[in-house]
Amino acid sequence: MGSTENHVCGAATRFAPSPTGYLHLGHAYAALFAEAAARAEGGRFIVRMEDIDVGRCRPSFDAAILDDLGWLGLSWDEPIRRQSEHLDDYATALDEMRHLGLLYPCFCTRKDIQAEIAAAGQAPHGPDGPLYPGTCRTLSPGERERRINEESPFALRLDMEKATALTGALTWHLPGGDPIKARPQVFGDVVLARKDVPTSYHLAVTVDDHLQGITVVTRGEDLYQATHVHRLLQALLGLKTPLYEHHRLLVGETGRRLAKRDQGLTLRALRQSGKSPAEVRRMVGYD
């Protein structure tokens, strides 16, 4: 338990895409933002592949992403870490939390959760939608064992109330900013290991940022709320807390944030249309 705040002196930053599609202009901005933050401090910039989503990630996108980043003129300081190759690290972290009595198996399907919420008439909402109603939190040990023995698939959820009671109040910081009070409760009992993959975004990213010595996490403001959960996991696992900088998201002509569906704004498409790396950098404000 406990954690140490990092001090920025040669910041280490990362760009952490998921190889589920081609990079678009928004990714180029995020990557250049992270690289600039590292280089400004004479620090380290790394690229990490967040490829735990086995159903959606493709080696061909992984290769295309690295190729596009290189074309844009980015270079990174360490071999690429691929999350799918480090499941042991996440298992170790899960074991620690299991020993603290903070995890429980959740057998619910999406449908079960929707039905439970409908029956209750309402459910508090968090950043990812309605909060999990806690159905499996109160299963008896016998019932859990029975379902595990009959090989019902299960996820592992964090008992948020127990976890926050254990850590007490926590804060995190923007570079040079006042402390921000961590409010992981807004997510309810988050999933830390999915039914199909023995980890989750929240767990893998927290463990990796620690193991890779990241001192400033730069990422889109859509992930601002996730930082509350990551801060809690750091405290539970005794990991260092980086600084967090959430950058704006680029929007398309309709004012909607760019997404993988914006095919015309992928770096691939821009390259094919004859744009140079310098032009693309200029389009996102990094010339």
Give catalytic residues, as residue numbers.
260
Choice between 27 and 157, CB closer to ligand GLU? 27
Give the shortest CB-222-to-ligand GLU separation in angstroms.
Answer: 8
Q: Helix, strand, or coil here: 129?
A: strand
Identity of residue 240: K
Closest CB to ligand GLU: residue number: 219
Tell the smallest beta-carbon distance from residue 112 to ligand GLU (Å): 28
Judged by CB, which is closer to ligand GLU: 66, or 106? 66
Integer angstrom CA distances of residue 2 from 5, 139, 236, 240, 241? 10, 31, 8, 9, 10
CA distance 134 to 106: 9
Nearer to ligand GLU, 35 or 50 (CB): 50
Cα–Cα dist 116/127, whole Å: 19
Binding site for ligand GLU (CB under 6 A): 16-18, 50, 205, 219, 223
Q: How far is the CB of 118 from ligand GLU (least distance, A)?
A: 31
CA distance 231 to 226: 9
End-to-end alpha carbon distance in the chain: 44
Least distance CB 18 / ligand GLU (angstroms): 4
* Nearer of residues 90 and 154 to ligand GLU, judged by Cβ: 90
Nearer to ligand GLU, 50 or 159 (CB): 50
Tokens of 56: 């959606």
Length of the chain: 287
Least distance in Å: CB of 256 to ligand GLU? 16
Closest approach of ligand GLU to the CB of residue 14, in Å: 7
Distance CA(226)–CA(228), nearest Å, equals 5
Q: What are phi and psi of 192, to 5 degrees?
A: -105, -20
By the 8 A CB rule, do 93 and 100 touch? no
Which residues, 6+ apart, have CB-to-CB distance to 226 below 8 Å? Answer: 127, 201, 202, 205
Q: Which phi and psi (to 5°) does residue 269 adopt?
A: -65, -40
Q: Which residue's CB is nearer to ligand GLU, number 167 or number 227?
A: 227
Q: How far apart are CA 182 and CA 284, in angstroms?
A: 31
